[in-house]
Chains A and B, each alone.
Chain A
Amino acid sequence: MIELKQLEKSYGTVQALKGLSLNVPRGSLYGLLGPNGAGKTTTLRILCTLLAPDSGTVSVAGLDALSDPRAVRLELGYVAQEVAIDKILTGRELLQLQGDLYHLRSSDRDERIAELIDRLGMETWIDRRCGTYSGGMRRRIDLASGLLHQPQLLVLDEPTVGLDIESRSAIWQLLRELRANGTTVLLSSHYLEEVEALADRMAIIDDGRVIAEGTPDLLKQQLGGDRVTLRVREFSDASEAEQVRQLLEGVDGVCQVVVNRAQGFSLNLVVESEQVLPRLREQLDGAQLPVFALSHSRPSLDDVYLQATGQTLMDAELAVAGQRDAKLERKKAMR
């Protein structure tokens, strides 16, 4: 459905995309995961014909988005990250405007609007002005605008950022339903659990490139091993953590031990299987060390991310926070 090849895009001296390639199969619910600033929004803007790449090719539904952007626009619905809404219009007027921009005949348009109002539960407030809407209402109006012309591809940029749990699960439900009905859905997110819960395929984007791609399960399986988090005390110090690390490193079946500073010097272990757990306890008992907490889990997407980039998604987020240049951001968003 979507084929992006070797996309490059720079804003001044900042290189946002460094040869990004992506293949989204028809009918899939596809997740783009990555920290803020990884290039997700730039990728989606290029895909939706809002932005031309410096180099590379963009194909949507077999159409070349660079030479025939209008044909591509007919096939896709785009729900942008920053909700652009006209506060003075009512939700219904906004949807009517949207329908006219897609050249629906007015009877079809109004019928379709009524259908979406019903499906998205907007009856009680659709005739109020958009300026009075909450974040969740705005997002629903935006979803409705994206779906109005029944596109075969729906593209959503961080659709649930800042939403309450109820709105979020309503949106998840809707996206699953769309996929079940044959619509291809591509969403970007920096929430691991969102991609994990929704996507049947995913790509991890970091620093303008795709660094891992596949089904979430496959990506996790490929990592191999299980994950163990261990604390000997509620608050250890660096030297004690280091001592424990050395003690456990030699245990049979332990592949890797990392001290996690951000989590109060807890230890993150990669082990071959859960059979290793009793041996860990034995070793700690032998060294007269207490165990405050010991938990065991299958690899998560965060581990996939950690493996691919060498840092956790949260650390990557923290690293870019405050680094963004407000002027550049505005320039990127404006035409």
Chain B
Amino acid sequence: MISPVATVTTRAAEQDQGPLADLVQETMALTRRLFLQLLRRPSTLIAGILQPLIWLLLFGALFSNAPESLLPGGMSYGRFLGAGVIVFTAFSGALNAGLPVMFDREFGFLNRLLVAPLRSRNSIVFASVIYITSLSLLQSLAIMGTAALLGYGWPGVAGLVLVIFTLLLLVFAFTALSLGLAFALPGHIELIAVIFVANLPLLFASTALAPLSFMPVWLGWLAALNPLTFAIEPIRAAYGGSLDLGAVLLDAPYGSVSGYGCLTVLLVVTIGLFLMIRPLLNRKLA
């Protein structure tokens, strides 16, 4: 038998907890769902870890005979590339963050969430951010481990903290962008098209694969304005063993940028993107 209406007990249960506990409960439940999906469809995870390793192995080998004196700080190409692959992997992962949300929109699962008395619909955004961030950190650790095995070095504990902090900023920024796109675009085909178009050009027009000194002036300008570059340089510095954030990391055409400068730019981009998508999320999730 279905027990008679007992809304009184239901509401009492909710009052017990308080809004913050409710917010945590709903966010954890939504995050749990994303991780269950990942564990039961591990191909995303496996491909997400294998792909950067292949980049590192093959692309690293491609230029392994490049004279070390050509690269900044006289590092080997493999060590130079490591930072680029880490950032590019985290960036691609974050750019895909909107896909699950888009599928939920298309299949109507989002309606199931929106008809529930969520404390804040931001919990849908929080869950995506937690999920993508964990995934990116996992991928990055796999890359760093492999890079160490290949003899490309290890940033050390303080360096690791810098790497993780930089990655967090980058992942937040592009997760926000992707979630914004997931609500702004009409369907997953369009979202995938945008991801596809944005992905590789942003990689090539950055210092992930080659230093600024290799590039013609116009590309140097693009690379020096690309947010990826501002994430790559501090991580590369950490790999170079230098943790002096006051030192100049980027000789951009418009002037020199220090480590602090790079992190500040990333922070501004992240905050800017969150502010930009806010009205959109509020409209769609209001």
Q: Are A84 and B112 in contact (CB under 8 A)?
A: yes
Q: Are A100 and B26 in contact (CB under 8 A)?
A: yes
Instruction: Tell whether A150 pairs with B16 under 8 Å between CB atoms, given A101-B26, A335-B111.
Output: no
Q: Which of B4, B13, B110, B113 contacts A101 (CB 8 A)?
A: B113
Bound CA span A96–B13, Å: 16
Q: Are A100 and B25 in contact (CB under 8 A)?
A: yes
Segment from B100-108, B224-232, B236-244 that makes contact with A: B100-108
Q: Are A103 and B14 in contact (CB under 8 A)?
A: yes
* Interface assignment of B282: CB less than 8 Å from any CB of chain A: no
- Chain A, residue nearest B15 (CB): A103
Q: Find chain B residues with CB under 8 A from A253 CB.
A: none
Q: Are A100 and B113 in contact (CB under 8 A)?
A: no
Instruction: Tell whether A84 pairs with B111 under 8 Å between CB atoms, given A70-B117, A73-B117, A74-B14.
Output: yes
* Interface assignment of A86: CB less than 8 Å from any CB of chain B: yes
* Interface assignment of B278: CB less than 8 Å from any CB of chain A: no
* Interface assignment of A48: CB less than 8 Å from any CB of chain B: yes
Shortest C-beta distance, B42 to chain A (Å), equals 11
Bound CA span A331–B105, Å: 10
Q: Find chain A residues with CB under 8 A from B17 CB.
A: 103, 105
Q: Are B117 and A335 in contact (CB under 8 A)?
A: no
Give the number of chain A interface residues (Cβ < 8 Å).
Answer: 48
Bound CA span A71–B2, Å: 23
Q: Is the interface of B mostly helix, strand, loop or mixed?
A: helix
Q: Are B7 and A101 in contact (CB under 8 A)?
A: no
Bound CA span A107–B92, Å: 40
Q: Find chain B residues with CB under 8 A from A140 CB.
A: none
Q: Are A119 and B1 in contact (CB under 8 A)?
A: yes
Number of residue pairs spanning A and B whose beta carbons lie under 8 angstroms apart = 123
Segment from A177-185, A206-214, A223-231, A275-283 that makes contact with B: A177-185
Bound CA span A105–B108, Å: 26
Binding site for A on B (CB under 8 A): 1-7, 9-11, 13-14, 16-17, 22, 25-26, 28-30, 32-33, 36-37, 40-41, 105-119, 183, 186-187, 284-285
- Chain A, residue nearest B32 (CB): A97
Q: Are A49 and B2 in contact (CB under 8 A)?
A: no
Instruction: Tell whether A49 pairs with B4 under 8 Å between CB atoms, given A97-B29, A100-B25, A105-B16.
Output: no
Shortest C-beta distance, B262 to chain A (Å), equals 37
Q: Are A102 and B109 in contact (CB under 8 A)?
A: no
Segment from A9-17, A75-83, A297-305 that makes contact with B: A75-83
Instruction: Tell whether A149 pairs with B10 under 8 Å between CB atoms, given A100-B29, A103-B26.
Output: yes
27 A-B residue pairings within 8 Å (CB atoms): A49-B114, A50-B111, A71-B117, A73-B116, A74-B7, A80-B111, A82-B108, A84-B107, A84-B108, A85-B109, A88-B37, A89-B33, A96-B29, A97-B30, A101-B30, A102-B14, A102-B117, A103-B13, A103-B26, A104-B10, A104-B13, A105-B17, A115-B3, A150-B3, A150-B7, A177-B2, A333-B108
Q: Are A75 and B110 in contact (CB under 8 A)?
A: no
* Interface assignment of A98: CB less than 8 Å from any CB of chain B: yes
Q: Find chain B residues with CB under 8 A from A75 CB.
A: 7
Shortest C-beta distance, B12 to chain A (Å), equals 10
